[in-house]
Structure 1
């Protein structure tokens, strides 16, 4: 499933998780969000227990979730991180 979140916003939140999160086995964890990259750094991933986001080359991104309420909760976490840090 795909939603319309700004690419700049997604990368900004990823960077905040990376800067302020706890590094555990190559992934950063902050406020319920796990963030990591693939081996070459071209694709970034952010996820919680129910939603997965992959963001790649040419600002293409894809969300994987089962229902809208899961996505809404994930988006709320991203906005919370953006405001807090």
Structure 2
């Protein structure tokens, strides 16, 4: 599966998860999605139980998943957050 990520989309969704989500330690959770940063704040992590997205400096990103369908479901959740909040 070719993963093309809209940088403004992921940053916007990350911000919405932080703004409207529930904070637990250094992580925020909203609608089954967890979002957090590394210690220096340069790398964002957005994940659910089946997909992990690491988004870093210079707009570099990496998905970790086992099945393309999981990424589709993950992306759908992110779009729902973007539309609802």
**TM-score range relative to shorter protein:** over 0.9
Moved over 2 A (4+): none
SS in 2 for 1:10: helix
**Which residue is 1:78 aligned to?**
78
Q: RMSD over aligned Cα, in angstroms?
A: 1.1
Task: With the length of structure 2 as denominator, give the TM-score of the two structures.
Answer: 0.97
1:71 deviates by 0.4
Following superposition, the deviation at residue 5 of structure 1 comes to 1.7
| Alpha-carbon separation, structure 1, partners of 2:84 and 2:67 | 26
Using the size of structure 1 for normalisation, the TM-score is: 0.97
Q: Which consecutive residues of structure 2, in runs of 5 or more, have no partner in the other structure?
A: none
Partner of 2:6: 6
CA distance in 2, matches of 1:26, 1:15: 14
Higher RCO structure, 1 or 2 (CA under 8 Å, sep 6+): 1
Q: Is the 8 A contact 1:2 1:61 kept in 2?
A: no
1:2 and 1:41 map into 2 onto residues whose CA distance is 27
Secondary structure, in 3 states, of the residue corresponding to 2:34?
Answer: strand
Structure 1 gap segments, 5+ residues each: none
CA distance in 1, matches of 2:4, 2:26: 28
Find the aligned partners of 1:25 and 1:18 in 2 and give their Cα distance.
12
Q: C-alpha separation between the residues in 2 aligned to 1:48 and 1:34?
A: 6
